[in-house]
Structure 1
Amino acid sequence: MKKLIPCLFALVSFASCSTAEVGSNAHASHAPVAHDSVVECGLYNGMTKESTVLATLSSGTQVQVTDTVDQYFVKARLTKDGKTLSGYMYRTCFASK
């Protein structure tokens, strides 16, 4: 019984640290970040092989990355010919940081 109490205390301490860490990440800023494409890329309306190309971007085109969707795609927004387009781009379109 005497050994059980310190173990429970350690477990509760660990759980509270994990909870605090998750809570602090919940308040992170999700503002769009400007990035320049490093190669010619497409802006797609989805994340599948059947997705339509909304726009083709040349190297050096600036886009606003609004979300990191998964390990392959980011959600991006750009203005082309006076119209704002939103879609998905491959992460490989940008230089790694």
Structure 2
Amino acid sequence: MRKHLLYFSSLVTLASCSAAGETASSTRPNRTPVAYNTVVECTLYDGMTKTSAQLTTIGSGMEVQVMDTVDAYFVKAKVTKDGKPLTGYMYRTCFPQR
């Protein structure tokens, strides 16, 4: 009886590990940048605080590559200014609601 219980618990453990691995890979977010156009003039910052330095200002209707949604207020974004790519953070309110 003890061997059967040990065998059964081993199978359950293995099944739960493989199921967890499948779940983690299927819910993994896509990290490919997505192009959005701004709806208002916004600023690209080097950080996510009120004291962060401003890297550049993006005009209304400009295309921005959104790389990641960082939190409830900011997205990580990449823009090109004078042929030079700049990566920083922008407020989510710069983009249309989806």
Q: TM-score under structure 2 normalisation?
A: 0.76
Tell me how far apart the structure 1 counterparts of residues 32 and 69 of structure 2 sit (CA, whole Å): 12
In structure 2, runs of 5+ residues without a counterpart are: 1-11
Tell me how far apart the structure 2 counterparts of residues 68 and 29 of structure 1 sit (CA, whole Å): 11
Q: Tell me which of 8, 27, 41 is aligned to 1:25.
A: 27
Task: Give % identity.
Answer: 56
The alignment status of 1:47 with 2:56, answered yes or no, reads: no
Q: Residues 1-97 of structure 1: matches in 2 within 5 Å?
A: 19=20, 20-26=22-28, 28-97=29-98
Tell me how far apart the structure 2 counterparts of residues 64 and 45 of structure 1 sit (CA, whole Å): 15
Q: Which structure has the bigger radius of gyration?
A: 2
Tell me how far apart the structure 1 counterparts of residues 71 and 43 of structure 2 sit (CA, whole Å): 17
Tell me how far apart the structure 2 counterparts of residues 72 and 32 of structure 1 sit (CA, whole Å): 18
The offset of 1:22, in angstroms, is: 3.0
1:3 alignment counterpart: none
The offset of 1:81, in angstroms, is: 1.0
**Number of residue pairs the alignment of both structures matches:** 88
**SS in structure 1 opposite 2:88?**
strand
The offset of 1:89, in angstroms, is: 0.2
RMSD (CA atoms): 2.5
In structure 1, runs of 5+ residues without a counterpart are: 1-11
The offset of 1:78, in angstroms, is: 0.5
The residue type paired with residue 24 of structure 1 is S
